[in-house]
Amino acid sequence: MCVSISQVSRFRIHSFGSSCCERVHGWIKNSSSLKLLDVRASSVDGKARWIRRNVSTTTQGSRGNIKSSVLGGTVPLTRIIDEESRTKVQPFGNLQQRLAQDKDLPKLLTVIVSDLETTGLNRKRERIIEIAAQDLAGGGYSTFQTLVNPGDVPVTNTDIHGIRTDMVCRPEVPRMEELIPIFLQYVESRQKPGGYVMLVAHNGKSFDFRFLINEFNRCSYEIPHNWLLLDSLPLGREHMKSLDPTGKPKASLKVLQEHYSLTREGDAHRALSDVLLLSKVFQKLTIDLKLSLSDLVLRCHTASDIIAVMAKNKKA
Query: Does 269 participate in catalysis according to the annotation?
Result: yes
For 9-44, letters b (16+ CB in 10 Å) and e give bbbbbbbbbeebeeebeebbeebeebeeeebebeee
When the beta carbons of 39 and 253 are compared against DNA, the nearer one is 253
Q: Is 250 in the site for DNA (CB under 7 A)?
A: yes
User: Is 131 among the residues that bind DNA (CB under 7 A)?
Assistant: no
Over the window 70 to 109, marking each residue x when it contacts DNA by CB under 7 A and - when it does not, the resulting string is: ----------------------------------------
274 touches DNA (CB under 7 A): yes
CA 42 to CA 51: how far, in whole Å?
A: 9
Residue 251 contacts DNA per CB under 7 A: yes
User: Is residue 254 involved in binding DNA (CB under 7 A)?
Assistant: yes
Selecting among 161, 202, 269, 301, the annotated active-site residue is 269
Helices (H) and strands (E) in the chain, counts: 12, 12
Residues 6+ away with beta carbon under 8 Å from 245: none
Residue 264, interface with DNA (CB under 7 A)? no
Q: Do strands 12-16 and 35-37 pair parallel, antiparallel, or not at all (unpaired)? A: antiparallel
Residue among 182, 223, 228, 253 that touches DNA (CB under 7 A): 253
In the region spanning residues 144 to 163, those forming contacts with DNA, defined by CB under 7 A, are 157, 160-161
Among 203, 217, 292, 304, binds DNA (CB under 7 A): 203
Question: What are the two backbone dihedrals, phi and then psi, of residue 165, each rounded to the nearest 5 degrees?
Answer: -55, -45
> Which of 11, 16, 186, 207 lies at the binding interface for DNA (CB under 7 A)?
207
Question: Which amino acid type is present at position 4?
Answer: S
The one-letter amino acid at 155: V
Rounded to whole angstroms, how far apart are CA atoms 212 and 223?
Answer: 8
Which positions touch DNA (CB under 7 A)? Answer: 115-118, 120-124, 157, 160-161, 202-203, 205-208, 210, 231, 233-234, 237-238, 241, 248-255, 269, 274, 309-310, 313
